[in-house]
Amino acid sequence: MVTLTLHCVHCGSDQLVRNGRASNGKQRYKCRACGRQSRENPSPNGYSEERRSEILKALHERSSLRGIERTFGVSRNTVTAWMKKDLRRGNSQVRGSRAA
């Protein structure tokens, strides 16, 4: 039997307490260390906003999708989708340039 240890996606603490259910039926947890909410089993594409901006920031700095892919274990398709979303929201720092 696999014991799943949950960690807070925000601070990495394992001090999570059950905190009701999300609208999609997933168990929600609240972190006692930082007080923020976490979801159970976030899907591979369900990166947190913070994680996403961290990755996008790294991408701006290194401009290498392949490097990002290796470093963060996120597929370049995912990152590319985020960049497009960012462009649509008009808050991209790479205005005028395009990801190859």
CB of 42 to Zn ion, least distance (A): 14
CB of 26 to Zn ion, least distance (A): 17
CB of 87 to Zn ion, least distance (A): 31
SS3 per residue for 17-86: EEEEECCCCCEEEEECCCCCEEECCCCCCCCCHHHHHHHHHHHHHHCCHHHHHHHHCCCHHHHHHHHHHH
Q: Which is nearer to Zn ion, 27 or 78 (CB)?
A: 27
Per CB under 5 A, residues contacting Zn ion are 8, 10-11, 13, 31, 33-34
Q: Which is nearer to Zn ion, 2 or 17 (CB)?
A: 17
Q: Which is nearer to Zn ion, 33 or 99 (CB)?
A: 33
CB of 11 to Zn ion, least distance (A): 3
Please report, to the nearest 10 degrees, the dihedral formed by the alpha carbons of residues 50, 54, 56, 59 taken in order: -170
Q: Which is nearer to Zn ion, 10 or 39 (CB)?
A: 10
CB neighbours of 9 closer than 8 A, spacing ≥ 6? 38, 42, 48, 50, 51
